[in-house]
Amino acid sequence: MGIRAVALAVGLAAPFAAQADQACNEGTIWLRGEFGEARFGVTVADTARERSRGLMFVEKMAASQGMLFVYDNPQPVAFWMKNTLIPLDMLFADSSGTVRRIHENAIPGDLTSIPGGAGIQYVLEINGGMARMLGIEVGAQMRHSAIEDAAWPCE
């Protein structure tokens, strides 16, 4: 699926590329890579309590929405899908916001640990299948106000 079709289908990517130059804000995350650019509205989980709840009990989520998990320092992280009702893609990123691992279509309710690897500081959860549909791959860069040492910094 081309970028234009994806943009029309879910309201992401090419039509909004010019907006990426605007100031970052807590409610929006941008990704860029070989696929182009994508934008998601996000809820930020930056406390232990918020991270432990995550997207549990969420019955549906708009295609252009997600949750950004923010840790104080890079570290090994692992997720599970306990009490999570929708399939999710998990994008694990280092301190620069560079995606280091993608776990696609995590199974709702599954208690299997999903490791992100060492040195992870940010995790973006989006609807299952969205990363593949948009062409997001390892090496993509995130842009968000919480990413202090970003490879793609806020203006």
Number of structural domains (the chain) is 1
- Tell me which residue range forms the domain holding 120: 3-143
Residue 150 maps to a domain: no
Rounded mean pLDDT, 92-100: 98
Residue 153 maps to a domain: no
Rounded mean pLDDT, 128-133: 98
Residue 151 maps to a domain: no
Residue 125 maps to a domain: yes
Residue 131 maps to a domain: yes
Whichever domain contains 95, its CATH number is 2.60.120.1140
At residue 155, the pLDDT reads 81
Q: How far apart are CA 42 and CA 83, in angstroms?
A: 20
Q: What is the pLDDT of residues 102-128, one digit of tens each?
A: 999 999 999 999 999 999 999 999 999
Residue 148 maps to a domain: no
The arrangement of strands across the sheet holding 65-79 comes to 99-106, 88-93, 114-127, 65-79, 36-45, 28-33, 141-143
At residue 10, the pLDDT reads 46
Residue 154 maps to a domain: no
Q: What is the pLDDT of residues 35-84, one digit of tens each?
A: 999 999 999 999 999 999 999 999 999 999 999 999 999 999 999 999 99
At residue 2, the pLDDT reads 42
Residue 73 maps to a domain: yes
Whether residue 141 has pLDDT greater than 50: yes
